[in-house]
Structure 1
């Protein structure tokens, strides 16, 4: 008979989960015992960085990815990163070791008390099987739940004495199971949506991350061109779903109720695809929609559909729905929107570099298919304005706004996409939340480039302090950080840039090589 350990590795192998991200503790060692040669284990030095790397890897591949955490303590360390994965619909299968069953009730050291409740509400499903023989079924269910429908993280806690137990009869059926979700709306629904769009006088489209995640960017482009619609990216969009060079592209929507309504004024139909309606941030009361506007959302997530404060919603697979809609609509006679004027190149000035100048240099030098990971939150709008992002899967951002995503995610995305160059643009405040991922980049020779925007302050908080009229707030500055020294301590080559010429030289050197490089750039507060 197979053991639980053998049966679960068969399931993982057959379902394609052969790359693990983890930071093991004693409870996890029996699971990792006799680790198979056809699997690989990517070690991270902190659980937040581990989940961030796995998040980037899973988003870039589009497939469920296994994360191995240590009981309650490791799960607690990873919760901030789990919030990002939940909001980005990232299919993570998070496993955590549990104390032996005989010791859970007495709450022995490293027991995960009420383990299934701990990660909620940041997972689609969580479970601690009631007996060892249920573990393979729970693992199979976790994989299919994570990767089906609106994808997302799941959580499985397993007592470590379960792995040596015998599996139940029939366990081999689990390894080859497939679960498919048919998510295409009815022909009548597609036809009604097509007619509404064709009959609108001035429709507009808002795209979210699930368009890019479902590899449907070209379909969104075709629909926008047929209907000559301006296209906005959803507020705080964690992915880019339309080329920023396209004539229909209008930029990134702000995250305030009144601001969004103001920008949508004059449009009689708002089509939102693959995004929440809407993910607001700063409190800015006003009307949710301008007068006379109707909103229709296409989303893969029933929760996003039901919690929206306005409009109608269609819950369906994004790519197949856009494909059907593209075939159902006719080309309009309206002229195409005029392309946005690109900003004038930033001038070279003495002293610290303006962020605009950094992005101009980056846009000029980076490969056209480069992948950008953003965690320089105070310069996000400048990135969208100045970087030409034209390829599928070119941009990633923390979907929940939790810091610590960018640097680890860049490592995971580069591991998943070795044929493209990944460039993380990270604020000096943000970098400290996931700095441990530098060690992983060095250890596994993952050639991501990390650009640290060093301005000595939490720039986004300074902006918010102005919005909230909060004066004399402590803790907004982070002076004295030496990221070159930190990088070298973790084994990553580091370069310092304090001028346009030195940044150009550093980027040229980093792009010419095939190893991880950190570039510390002295920048002004934007």
Structure 2
């Protein structure tokens, strides 16, 4: 069965005759391929329009079992494609379910068009009880602090304008979700005259501004005079051309590069200039690299001041010159602290990182004569990945990464998600789609949906999408797998199952140490054990194939090989990898030694 044949409507497509048809038509004209939803009566008009007016094509509906998955699937799709999916959330109650996913997408700076609905604004149109509790005045207030823009149209022409603006703003850097709330009463009004829909190409997203000529000259001078520059590479474009420019930029400057495991793959991690594994928590090695820099360049690096703070409480003394390239301040508000600490900066550039590099690279090329300061040869020595000493008896968290590195071969893997404590020193990123970053806002339960969304975006490309998930994250988001099974979206889910909410064990240990109390009690109220949750059964209940838990390196390799075969055949698969309680690298925890 082809993807398009799933949930294909019967009969002929209806003509545009209802206000909700206008909203559906706008989705089509905006080029949106999919809309994720969990059904609700507040947008039953739009639902009918998607089916009987559009024929469930462009966009095609993706039925989800929870609004959390509606958002996480759209989020994962955007991370893998840099394209916008649409979401539909039912009234105030569905919106409140989805708020965490919206916050994740906001913190991750991804585009997303969210269509909501409220009960009939007109009193006379409300059904007793249900339409009253599902009608909210200014529903956008629930999410206004962590969306880029919201609207509640009052007419069919207003829907056209609102959706044009929402799409334009969501896709304009820095990207973020936008929200359009459709009055259910308005949706069900018959059109009395033709609605003019303009050429949507004339409402394209705006391009990011670039550095001024003076800023480029100053940046070039600082960097070429620098003896020990360090580039903090954060967010960036998915294209291979941008990837190549970033590599060339670092090589010309002879600059060491640091990346973050919280952000998407941005630089080849096996390159000799990539100075340390992608950062989850700053190791002594990373702190030493930052401390030794005379010039530090933040390239859309979200937490520049936090990076400096881990080197010295006097952040202004960390290095001679700091260049910060970001547009993130255009989204900052007083509600969410995702703007992080205010860093000391000598040259601030209002631009995206890749726009800036594209501007500066020709200047650096000209001034260096195209001769890179970094000389090829020598550099990193890659060793064959090795399992932990006890992997034939019990897996350690890092062994999952080792197994993937060993079995990678000629496969093109895309890691849609990795758990906390991922080591990052074995599985190297060679391509911008090798790794898609974290969930943005730390909202537990997003990992399964992110994986499904990424697999949807990369379906048919030959890339194998893997979600490496913690057990807590998976259990909270397990029903997202039903959508993968129903729509035959191939993805491999590997659960690094330590049977604990281990991040909070670390916090409880920190508090016990600060208070001089018993550290060994840290597990109480944290362990997911006695009984163990049957993760394989959870997957099978959603229609996703799985075998049995594995606990040794040999079992893990055999299960991954089996799972890759299933995924290559177009179906999802889940592996429960039972690992020792712990992390592959030490976490940052307030008060911990």
Q: Using structure 2 for the length normalisation, give the TM-score.
A: 0.81
Structure 2: state its 5+ residue gaps.
1-15, 333-338, 583-593
Please identify runs of 4+ aligned residues in structure 1 that moved more than 6 A: 104-107, 167-170, 256-260, 304-307
Task: Tell me whether 261-270 or 57-66 shows the greater mean CA deviation.
Answer: 261-270
Greater shift in the superposed pair: 79-88 or 180-189: 180-189
The Cα RMSD (Å) is 2.9
Q: Which protein is bigger by CA-based radius of gyration? A: 2
Q: Name the SS for the 1:150 alignment partner.
A: coil
Give the whole-Å Cα distance in 1 for the aligned partners of 2:156 and 2:349. 40
Shift in Å, 1:325: 1.5
Q: Which digits, 9 at most, give the CA deviation of each residue in 1:54-109, with x for residues without a partner?
A: 10112212122100011111111111111110011110111111101114999812
Distance 2:559 2:269 in 1: 26
SS at match of 1:310: coil
Match of 2:111 among 88, 91, 94: 91
Secondary structure at 2:140's aligned position in 1?
coil
Which residue matches 2:528?
Answer: 478
Counterparts of 1:231 and 1:322 in 2: how far apart (Å)?
Answer: 14
Which of 144, 148, 153 aligns to 1:124? It is 148
Asked if the contact 1:204–1:229 (Cα under 8 Å) also holds between the matched residues in 2, the reply is yes
After TM superposition, the score normalised by the length of structure 1 is 0.91
Aligned to 1:508: 561
CA-to-partner distance for each residue in 1:352-397, whole Å, 9 max, x for gaps?
A: 21122221111111355211122421x32x1x11112211122121
Q: Helix, strand or coil: the match of 1:45? A: coil
**CA–CA separation in structure 2 for the residues paired with 1:502 and 1:84:** 34
Is the counterpart of residue 156 in structure 1 residue 180 in structure 2? yes
Q: Deviations over 1:404-458 (max 9, x none)?
A: 2211111110110022100110011111221111101110111100001111112
Q: Distance in 1 between matches of 2:83 and 2:217?
A: 32
Distance in 2, matches of 1:157 and 1:57, equals 22
1:442-496 deviation per Cα after TM superposition (whole angstroms, max 9, x unaligned):
1011110000111111222223333443744542111111101111111110123
Q: How does 1:183-262 map to 2 (within 5 A)?
A: 183-212=209-238, 216-234=242-260, 236-249=261-274, 250-253=276-279, 255=281, 262=288
Which residue matches 1:322?
357
Correspondence for 2:327 = 300
- Pairing 1:401-412 to 2, within 5 Å after superposition: 401-412=442-453
Counterpart mapping for 1:268-347 below 5 A: 268-278=294-304, 280=306, 286-288=313-315, 290-303=317-330, 308-311=342-345, 312-329=347-364, 330=368, 331-333=371-373, 338-339=379-380, 342=383, 345-347=386-388
What is the CA–CA distance in structure 1 between the aligned matches of 2:29 and 2:412, rounded to whole Å?
Answer: 32
Count of aligned residue pairs for this structure pair: 522
Alpha-carbon distance between aligned partners in 1 of 2:507 and 2:282, rounded to the nearest angstrom: 13
Report how far residue 278 of structure 1 moved. Answer: 2.9
Task: Give the secondary-structure state (helix, strand or coil) at the position aligned to 2:476.
Answer: coil
Aligned counterparts of 1:500 and 1:257: Cα–Cα separation in 2: 27
Structure 1 residues 374 and 342: CA distance shift in structure 2, 3 A: farther
Larger displacement relative to structure 2 (213-222 or 57-66): 213-222
Deviates more, 1:314-323 or 1:501-510: 314-323
Match of 2:401 in 1: 359
